[in-house]
Amino acid sequence: MAKLNKLQTASLPDAVLDRRRAVPALIERPGDFLMVAGLAGTAWELSALTHESPSLFGLGGAMGAAPMMGLGLALAQPKRRVLVATGDGELLMNVGALATIALQNPPNLTIICVDNGHYGETGNQDSHTGLGVRLDLIAAGCGFPVVHVINAEADMAEGRRLVREGGGLSFILLRVTEGPATHDGKKNLVPHVERDRFRSALLG
């Protein structure tokens, strides 16, 4: 089989941000949001960031589910800010979700894709984004009214503003270097435990 070539058009600069610092810097005060974190890496780092906060629904599995769960949550809770954090590999698995989310267009929802260009949970193979696929362009093509790419510290202030102030449905591509997510080992990602904790906090 021929080796895949990286795409040569519309390429982004190489990522320089460390996810262990970039994710907390982008979200800042996680308790201000309802959050859904995708498969493994993003779930562990948001769990470490929120210190067992019941406002986080972290997925230990269910690859590809986080964006659509976030959509449902945003539609059901229109007065709350909803953040979805997912990885590039997970989003690629369910990239059609972006089209559905854009058509529904909930103004209180932000999708954050932590893109390290690798499938970190299955052996760190290059993901499609590592070979040149642009998830920011896909989101824009699906109809997201606001798309922002964070390649470096200079892009972070606008990302924080979008996360906190919104102003409409937004997609943030947070490009980070290859490396492990923060993992404090404390969070229980058993699905029914996460569900019950989150539901109890949400509904009182």
Say how far apart CA 12 and CA 119 lie, in whole Å. 19
Say how far apart CA 165 and CA 145 lie, in whole Å. 15
Parse the chain into domains and list their residue ranges.
19-203
Torsion (CA) 22, 27, 28, 31 in degrees, nearest 10: -150
- Read off the pLDDT of residues 148-203 as tens digits, 9 standing for 90 and up: 999 999 999 999 999 998 789 999 999 999 876 776 655 567 778 888 888 988 88
From the centroid of its chain, how far is CA 67?
A: 8
Q: Looking at residue 195, what is its pLDDT?
A: 85
Say how far apart CA 74 and CA 66 lie, in whole Å. 12
Q: Residues 115, 87: contact at Cβ < 8 Å?
A: yes
Reported residue count of the chain is: 204
- Read off the pLDDT of residues 84-95 as tens digits, 9 standing for 90 and up: 999 998 899 899
HSE of 80 in the Cβ direction (CA atoms, 13 Å)? 20
Report the CATH superfamily, name and number, of domain 19-203: Thiamin diphosphate (ThDP)-binding fold, Pyr/PP domains (3.40.50.970)
Q: Looking at residue 52, what is its pLDDT?
A: 64
What average pLDDT score do residues 27-34 get?
A: 90
* Model pTM above 0.85: yes
Phi first, then psi, for residue 148 (nearest 5°) are -135, 135
- Helix ranges, the chain (H): 19-27, 41-50, 66-76, 88-93, 97-104, 135-142, 156-165, 191-203
From the centroid of its chain, how far is CA 70?
A: 10
Neighbour-count burial of 173, counting CB atoms closer than 10 A to its CB (0-12 exposed, 13-18 middle, 19+ buried): buried
Which residues touch 184 (CB under 8 Å, ≥6 apart)?
44, 47, 48
Say how far apart CA 70 and CA 111 lie, in whole Å. 8
Answer yes or no: is pLDDT of 141 > 60. Answer: yes
